Amino acid sequence: MIDLPPYPPLDPSNYDLIVVGTGVSESVFAAAASSSGSSVLHLDPNPFYGSHFASLSLPDLTSFLHSNSVSPPPPPSSPPLPPSNNHDFISVDLVNRSLYSSVEISSFESEILEEHSRRFNVDLCGPRVVFCADESINLMLKSGANNYVEFKSIDASFVGDSSGELRNVPDSRAAIFKDKSLTLLEKNQLMKFFKLVQSHLASSTENDDTTTVKISEEDMESPFVDFLTKMRLPPKIKSIILYAIAMLDYDQDNTETCRHLLKTKEGIDRLALYITSVGRFSNALGALIYPIYGQGELPQAFCRRAAVKGCIYVLRMPITALLLDKETGGYKGVKLATGQEIFSQKLILDPCVTIGLESLSSLTDQENETISVLVPKALINKEKVARGICVIRGSVKADVSNALIVYPPKSLFPEQLTAIRVLQLGSGLAVCPADMHVLYLSTLCDNDDQGIKALLSAMSNLVRLPDPKNQQSDSVVENDTCEAKPILLWRALYVQQLVKGEFGGTISSMPSPDGNLNYNEIVESALKLYEQLMGSEELFKEETSVENTTEENDDGVDIED
Amino acid sequence: MHGRPRKASKPEEEAASAAKAVKLRSLQSQFMKNHHDKIYTEEAIELSTKLLEINPEAYTAWNYRKLAVEDCLSRIDSDPNLVNSIFDEELRVVESALRQNFKSYGAWHHRKWVLSKGHSSIAHELKLLDKFQRLDSRNFHAWNYRRFVVELTKRSEQDELQYTDDMINNNFSNYSAWHNRSVLLSSLLAQNADGFMPNERIPDEYDLVHSAIFTDPDDQSGWFYHLWLLDQTLNVETPLLTSSWPSHGSTIILSGAGCLNGSSSKFTTFCSESGSFPLILYFDQAVGGVSSSTVTIDSELKGNEDLVWEPISYKNSQVSCVWVTHLKYVSTDLCEYKVKIRVGNSPGIVSSRGHNFRAPYEFVFTAHVHDTVKDSQEGIVSWTDGFDIWDAKSKDLNSLITLDQLQAEIDFKWRQEAIDSEVECFGILSDSKIGKLTLARLLMAREAMVSDDAVKGVRYEEILQLYNDLMALDSSHYQYYKDEHSVAFLHKMTSSSESLSRHLFRYRGMNNLVCLRLNNLSLSRIASVEKLLFVQMLDLSHNELHSTEGLEAMQLLSCLNLSHNRIRSFSALDSLRHVKQLKVLDVSHNHIGKHSVDTTRYLCSSPLSNSEWSQDDVGRQNPGLVTKYWDAYFVLRDLNLKQLDIAGNEISGNEFSSFVLQVVPKLVWLDGQKLGN
């Protein structure tokens, strides 16, 4: 931030909307606003697109995590000024909040990684995938952002346990048929359940068809886990449905530790998302797809869409202060790191941007009201998400490159309270060099130690540390099946705070990446905020007439209507 | 494509299709003119291309192209490059036609024709097929064509089997893939190819199809494959002799027409005016080639050197499960004869699937020839009294019930084990219709394999209950379940001499005929006939029978009561024409006359196929009546009835009665009335 390149002053200096941060929520917002004709200035303090959703090389990722972690940020060059009063505006200085803690990065084979370091595109917000029937896909299709991203299928999903065995998730008719671990009766019960869900969904779209089976209202309000029991599904299948298909985090059988006991209604919605995802795009194998070059492509695609519609982009441009109207205390604009003052009707901020508490005391009530969304709240919910990234040589499962692995609660160790999700991605997705894979892991946790412990347990189940003595003789060792685990080359562990977005009239704050596997909630909250802030006008409405071109890809997934 | 709802077309689409039709019609008329005038110029061929690209179903255009290609070939001097380019163009046209409609018979056929000319490379064909089969994996045209290409390329059956694996794994709801699998496996199993021994391979296939049936019990594609597997398991290829009459070790009494002296005899008595008695062989599958050279008879009975064996089959085919010949005897020649029969002495008995009757089988019976003392009576046969209860303890029931030829197959064990594991498996799916039905079929198959008397027949109650459940659950297939229920019931009844003897009686009136009474059992189908060959008098009244199919094997039958059943026409009685001994027939209170044709069968005689009636007496005298009652005419004409009951049918009445008298002049009793001269 010190050696900013000299920027010419921005012209114009007045906008309908300023958006700070290029995460998914901010980018969707910017694209929607510019598409509806608003003038938008989109800033990012980082030299890359995506903010906390970016995909970075290993060194960039390392430095981003370090600079955004709780180790105290470098103190501002001058002591925080009281809100300055020298212009027509009151200027309130902004400070950065750190989202990350317990950052620990270890490299086991530095030479190899340095050689390839720029060939990695590693996600900050992993593990994360897109469901084919996801809200984010709908939005991409609607906005035309799909023209800038290409996806590939996640080939398989597995459920793991402490034995190290990975079992296929029977998530479709064909998968149930092929599955070798289910008994015939289990296949029958599971398919029967899927059919019930499908028939329920069909009956809710085609109303008043009495022939279709529907799940009763009473069941819909009961806990999903109880409903599964009522359907006489054995525990093994229940666990698959809850954690590997509905993607739940908390142990649904343990009412004490379960933060979110899912109702059947919500469970059915989650299954519906999964079921409708399977087969939505003809060349997607399963329910899940992943953008080639990493998740950072998604916010970037929306930014490009916004740019086409006239949104102005400036990267490496932090804002240092808010400008408030002297008389009304209302929001006027922001001060850029270059010192330039830019004005707008409305302001959307990245979750990292907050106000130092010491600044607040000298402000009027009216001014405090304006900036209230930026005041860090005492966290009511201590929930965090622990994330891990491993670069490995080899694959966790032979013949499978891109795969999702879920460890349901208690599957690895008795005190495991939450599900751990692991996503392995290969060079086919252009996220790492050939022969290597990137593993993303995450789990929800209340404190850093608990989360890191869970991730380490999953890691040790899947990968092994390189043997310092004979690194060259892997081929010899691989004869032994239990030793065929892939070798860990590089590892990052960090815990991310979960910050909710806030709507505050003229100034609003966007949420941090959530602990989910997909973008559904993030996109929904961005759209809700858009509606609150910009009115309920239909999003991207003129884009629907744009003709999609059909392309034949060999193995990529075309997402088209 | 499957599973896609048809959408109603919009007005603008209809207008477009009307415009297309106009264009198509003009193209077609131009084309027809070219075709008619044998014009094979480049423009003319181009026109047919256009036509076919719009309408690939225009088969005349495909034929025209064949002519055009041959015309071109005759004009160029077999320059290989030119020849190839002609055929390549044909392949291109077919491909674009198939893109338009890839269920076009004409287009696929044209492609085969082009390839069979042998000028084009077939390497490309499998790739093209993969593409088509990815679009519609069940399209049988593509599968059919695939088999054609595979044969041309000599691709291995193992590779093709792997392909069906892939297709089934992708979506197991694929009849075509399962079907192709059964075709490939049949061939591999028949060759005993490496890794394709039936006892190892069939259980694996069961595992595969279980996954399909259990995952989605409503998906029928797996059902058919399971049925095929079941058939592979049960089908012991070699035909076996199931039973015979007279049976091995039995004693029969033969006499001329009339009543016997010692009428209390416990042995089966056979009276004949013609001085011959039937010898019946019943095989487990239809066979051909039964003749005096393949079956030898060793006895002192004279005049039986060149016996004529007749297949008993209503289809008039030369293969049948039942074969009969008639042995002559002289009724005055009182004597006891031993008769020794050797079946399969020399090769020649071959099943309809082409397998030889292997092990020769020998059986012996004794025939006593008795004298008749009284003149034959023309008394009425009553179905209400005159029956003596069968002496269940009498040993001779054992001689009546025929013994199955021993199934000494070496690989019989794996079949039993396979069926046992199937029974166990489907026991847990018994909450679905297909689960119940399959279980019932499996249990029937299992019972048929049991040879140990101690456990024989123990599962019939379960089978009957399953069919009862199915009748209640699935009313649209009620009749099928009902029929199967009847079959199971009859199997159960004939499974032990004890249960059979409960239905057996002796009819005092006619030389102690052996009478089987199966009245009031709501039977809808006849089965287990092979165990009932000795029956001479059969009471099937008050059942739900639609036809007499199966009774043709009961060559000893002389009295049959079918009153109060559901017979709707005389053609449903067609099989009785083979029962030459039949004297007494009661078909009263049925629905004869309601339909002139037995609609439950596809094959039956029709007035159009039989013009010979105009040749015989009745036909000449009464062409009107014969035309009206043609179905009755064909059945009654061939029977030798003395007593007929027909009352209570739609057809009955004075006109029909007088018709019957003309057709059956020897009739003595009609509807209980003695016919006087």
Chain B residues 208-227 with a CB less than 8 Å from chain A: 210-212, 214-217
Measured between CA atoms, the residue of chain A closest to residue B427 is A185
Contact assessment for residue A127 and residue A423, using Cβ atoms and an 8 Å cutoff: yes
Give, as one character, the DSSP assignment of residue A263: B
Cβ of residue A196 closer than 8 Å to a chain B Cβ: no
- Position A473 confidence tier, pLDDT thresholds 50, 70, 90: very low
Phi, psi of B338 (to 5 degrees): -95, 135
Spell out which residues of chain A touch residue B169, defining contact as CB-CB under 8 Å: 174, 177-178
Would you list the DSSP string of B176-226? HHHHHHHHHHHHHHHTT-TT--HHHHHHHHHHHHHHHHHH-TT-HHHHHHH
Spell out which residues of chain A touch residue B167, defining contact as CB-CB under 8 Å: none
pLDDT at A46 over 70: yes
Spell out which residues of chain A touch residue B2, defining contact as CB-CB under 8 Å: none
Contact assessment for residue A94 and residue A321, using Cβ atoms and an 8 Å cutoff: yes
ipTM, two decimals: 0.76
Residue A42 corresponds to which amino acid? H
Count of CB contacts below 8 A, A vs B?
38
- A540: closest CA of chain B, how far (Å): 28
What is the C-alpha to C-alpha distance for residues B200 and B190, in angstroms, rounded to an integer? 14
Cβ of residue A191 closer than 8 Å to a chain B Cβ: yes
Q: How high is the pLDDT of residue B372?
A: 65
Chain-wide mean pLDDT for chain A? 85
For B190-208, what is each residue's pLDDT tens digit?
A: 888 888 888 888 999 999 9
Residue of B213, B215, B426, B430 for testing the chain A interface, max A β-carbons within 10 Å: B215
Spell out which residues of chain B touch residue A173, defining contact as CB-CB under 8 Å: 171-173, 215-216
Spell out which residues of chain A touch residue B210, defining contact as CB-CB under 8 Å: 184
Start-to-end CA distance of chain B, whole Å, equals 72
pTM for the model: 0.80
Cβ of residue B13 closer than 8 Å to a chain A Cβ: no
For chain B, percent of residues with pLDDT exceeding 70: 87
- Check B215 against A176: CB less than 8 A apart: yes
Give, as one character, the DSSP assignment of residue A397: S
What is the C-alpha to C-alpha distance for residues A260 and A417, in angstroms, rounded to an integer? 12
Task: Report, in this order, helix, strand and coil percent for chain B, each rounded to 5.
Answer: 45, 15, 40
DSSP alpha helix (H) spans, B101-156? 105-116, 123-135, 140-153
Contact assessment for residue A57 and residue A117, using Cβ atoms and an 8 Å cutoff: yes
What is the C-alpha to C-alpha distance for residues A55 and A426, in angstroms, rounded to an integer? 14
3 state SS of B229: helix
- Check B214 against A185: CB less than 8 A apart: yes
What is the C-alpha to C-alpha distance for residues B211 and B214, in angstroms, rounded to an integer? 5
Spell out which residues of chain B touch residue A184, defining contact as CB-CB under 8 Å: 210-211, 214, 425, 428-429
Q: How high is the pLDDT of residue A552?
A: 36
- Position A477 confidence tier, pLDDT thresholds 50, 70, 90: very low
- Position B138 confidence tier, pLDDT thresholds 50, 70, 90: confident
Q: How high is the pLDDT of residue A303?
A: 95
Cβ of residue B420 closer than 8 Å to a chain A Cβ: no
- Check B429 against A178: CB less than 8 A apart: no
Spell out which residues of chain A touch residue B172, defining contact as CB-CB under 8 Å: 173-174, 177
Tokens representing residue A143 in the block: 């906005």
What is the C-alpha to C-alpha distance for residues A182 and A164, in angstroms, rounded to an integer? 18
Measured between CA atoms, the residue of chain A closest to residue B213 is A188
What is the C-alpha to C-alpha distance for residues A395 and A405, in angstroms, rounded to an integer? 12
Spell out which residues of chain B touch residue A179, defining contact as CB-CB under 8 Å: 211
pLDDT at A403 over 70: yes
- B171: closest CA of chain A, how far (Å): 6
Tokens representing residue A107 in the block: 């490299």
Residues 6+ apart with CB under 8 A from B38: B67
pLDDT at A374 over 90: no
Give, as one character, the DSSP assignment of residue A219: H
Q: How high is the pLDDT of residue B3?
A: 58
Sheet holding B295-299, edge to edge: B268-271, B251-255, B361-369, B335-343, B295-299
Q: How many CB atoms lie within 10 A of CB B33?
A: 12
Of A177, A185, A188, the CB nearest to B172: A177
What is the C-alpha to C-alpha distance for residues B77 and B83, in angstroms, rounded to an integer? 9
pLDDT at A546 over 50: no
Of A174, A178, A188, the CB nearest to B217: A188
What is the C-alpha to C-alpha distance for residues B434 and B477, in angstroms, rounded to an integer? 12
Cβ of residue A177 closer than 8 Å to a chain B Cβ: yes
Contact assessment for residue A47 and residue A316, using Cβ atoms and an 8 Å cutoff: yes
What is the C-alpha to C-alpha distance for residues A505 and A524, in angstroms, rounded to an integer? 19
Of B168, B215, B425, the CB nearest to A191: B215
For A87-129, what is each residue's pLDDT tens digit?
A: 678 888 888 888 999 999 999 888 888 888 888 999 999 899 9
Spell out which residues of chain A touch residue B212, defining contact as CB-CB under 8 Å: 177
Residue A127 preceded by cis peptide, ω within 30: yes
- Check B215 against A185: CB less than 8 A apart: no
For chain B, percent of residues with pLDDT exceeding 90: 32
Q: How high is the pLDDT of residue A265?
A: 92
Rounded mean pLDDT, B603-614: 54
Cβ of residue A178 closer than 8 Å to a chain B Cβ: yes
Dihedral over alpha carbons B666, B649, B484, B279 (to 10 degrees): 0
Lowest mean pLDDT, pick from A482-491, A530-539, B23-32, B537-546 = A530-539
Lowest mean pLDDT, pick from A56-60, A148-152, B233-237 = B233-237
Q: How high is the pLDDT of residue B176?
A: 92
Cβ of residue A187 closer than 8 Å to a chain B Cβ: yes
DSSP alpha helix (H) spans, B569-629? 617-621, 623-628
Rounded mean pLDDT, A8-26: 92
- Check A184 against B429: CB less than 8 A apart: yes
- B228: closest CA of chain A, how far (Å): 20
Q: How high is the pLDDT of residue A172?
A: 86
- Position B522 confidence tier, pLDDT thresholds 50, 70, 90: very high
Residues 6+ apart with CB under 8 A from B603: B314, B315
Give, as one character, the DSSP assignment of residue A408: -
Measured between CA atoms, the residue of chain B closest to residue A187 is B215
Give Cα A376 distance to the centre of its chain. Answer: 22
- B129: closest CA of chain A, how far (Å): 17
Lowest mean pLDDT, pick from A86-95, A275-284, B2-11, B282-291 = B2-11
Cβ of residue A184 closer than 8 Å to a chain B Cβ: yes
Of B170, B214, B216, the CB nearest to A184: B214
- Check B216 against A173: CB less than 8 A apart: yes
pLDDT at B446 over 70: yes
Geometric angle at alpha carbon A258, from A133 and A418, rounded to 5°: 65
Q: How high is the pLDDT of residue A77?
A: 47
Spell out which residues of chain A touch residue B170, defining contact as CB-CB under 8 Å: 174
Would you list the DSSP string of A508-528? EEPPPP-SSSSSHHHHHHHHH
Contact assessment for residue A168 and residue A158, using Cβ atoms and an 8 Å cutoff: yes
Residue B310 corresponds to which amino acid? E
Give, as one character, the DSSP assignment of residue A372: G
- Check A177 against B170: CB less than 8 A apart: no
- A294: closest CA of chain B, how far (Å): 29
Measured between CA atoms, the residue of chain A closest to residue B173 is A174
Tokens representing residue A160 in the block: 């793991």
Of A174, A178, A184, the CB nearest to B210: A184
Query: Scanning the structure block, which residue is given the tokens 């029991």?
Result: A229
- A176: closest CA of chain B, how far (Å): 7
Q: How high is the pLDDT of residue B677?
A: 53
Rg, Å, chain A Cα set: 24
Stated as kind and residue range, the H or E segment containing A238 is helix A235-239
For B378-397, what is each residue's pLDDT tens digit?
A: 678 888 888 888 766 555 55
Contact assessment for residue A302 and residue A284, using Cβ atoms and an 8 Å cutoff: no
Rounded mean pLDDT, B505-532: 88
Mode of pairing for the β-strands spanning A130-131 and A288-291: antiparallel
Dihedral over alpha carbons A137, A138, A142, A143 (to 10 degrees): -40
Query: Scanning the structure block, which residue is given the tokens 């007929």?
Result: B644
State the SS3 of B375-407. Answer: CCCCCCCCCCCCEEECCCCCCHHHHHCCCCCCC
Tokens representing residue B420 in the block: 């046992």
- B4: closest CA of chain A, how far (Å): 14
Give, as one character, the DSSP assignment of residue B552: G
For B450-473, what is each residue's pLDDT tens digit?
A: 776 677 778 899 999 999 999 999
Spell out which residues of chain B touch residue A187, defining contact as CB-CB under 8 Å: 211, 214-215
Tokens representing residue B587 in the block: 């078909």
Contact assessment for residue A537 and residue A141, using Cβ atoms and an 8 Å cutoff: no
DSSP alpha helix (H) spans, B428-580? 433-449, 460-473, 478-493, 497-501
Q: Roughly what angle, to the nearest 10 degrees, separates helices B80-100 and B42-54?
A: 30
Spell out which residues of chain A touch residue B216, defining contact as CB-CB under 8 Å: 173, 191
Question: How far are the Cα atoms of B375, B586, B640, B675 from residue B273, in angstroms, in the given order?
Answer: 12, 22, 12, 22
State the SS3 of B465-491. Answer: HHHHHHHHHCHHHHHHHHHHHHHHHHH
For A202-251, what is each residue's pLDDT tens digit?
A: 887 765 555 667 788 888 899 999 999 998 899 999 999 999 999 999 99
pLDDT at A348 over 90: yes
Q: How high is the pLDDT of residue A548?
A: 43
Which is nearest to A13 in space by CA: A350, A335, A347? A335
Phi, psi of A386 (to 5 degrees): -90, 130
Chain-wide mean pLDDT for chain B? 84
Query: Scanning the structure block, which residue is given the tokens 């208690």?
Result: A410
For B217-262, what is each residue's pLDDT tens digit?
A: 988 999 999 999 998 888 777 888 888 888 888 888 887 665 555 5
Cβ of residue B628 closer than 8 Å to a chain A Cβ: no
A312: which strand partners? A41
What is the C-alpha to C-alpha distance for residues B574 and B604, in angstroms, rounded to an integer? 8
- Check A173 against B170: CB less than 8 A apart: no
- Check B211 against A185: CB less than 8 A apart: no
Residue A223 preceded by cis peptide, ω within 30: no
Query: Scanning the structure block, which residue is given the tokens 């012996």?
Result: B364
